[in-house]
């Protein structure tokens, strides 16, 4: 009886751990996507700023 309870509890804990690992993997993917988007926006901002800075000089 005790062995059965321990085995069942172990399975439950393993299932919970798998769910947590999957959740963490999802969070890590989301963070990577956010970081990538942040870098893209920063590069776009630099590009637009450079264009605005240079545009008066290019027309002369």
User: Domain residues of the chain, as ranges?
Assistant: 1-60
**Chain-wide mean pLDDT for the chain?**
95
Residue 30's pLDDT band (cuts 50, 70, 90): very high
Residue 60's pLDDT band (cuts 50, 70, 90): low
Q: Which structure tokens are listed for 50?
A: 């450079």
Task: Report yes or no on whether pTM surpasses 0.75.
Answer: no
The DSSP secondary structure of the chain, one letter per residue, reads -HHHHHHHHHHHHHHHHHHHHHHHHHHHHHHHHHHHHHHHHHHHHHHHHHHHHHHHHHH-
User: For residue 52, which of 33, 44, 32, 36 has the smallest C-alpha distance?
Assistant: 44
pLDDT tops 80 at residue 59: no
Can you give the C-alpha Rg of the chain in angstroms? Answer: 26
pLDDT digits (tens, 9 = 90+) for 36-56: 999 999 999 999 999 999 988
């Amino acid at each position: 009886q005790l062995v059965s309870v321990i085995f069942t509890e172990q399975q439950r804990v393993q299932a919970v751990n798998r769910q947590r690992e999957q959740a963490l993997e999802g969070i890590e993917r989301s963070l990577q996507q956010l970081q990538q988007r942040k870098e893209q926006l920063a590069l776009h901002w630099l590009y637009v700023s450079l264009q605005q800075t240079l545009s008066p000089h290019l027309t002369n």
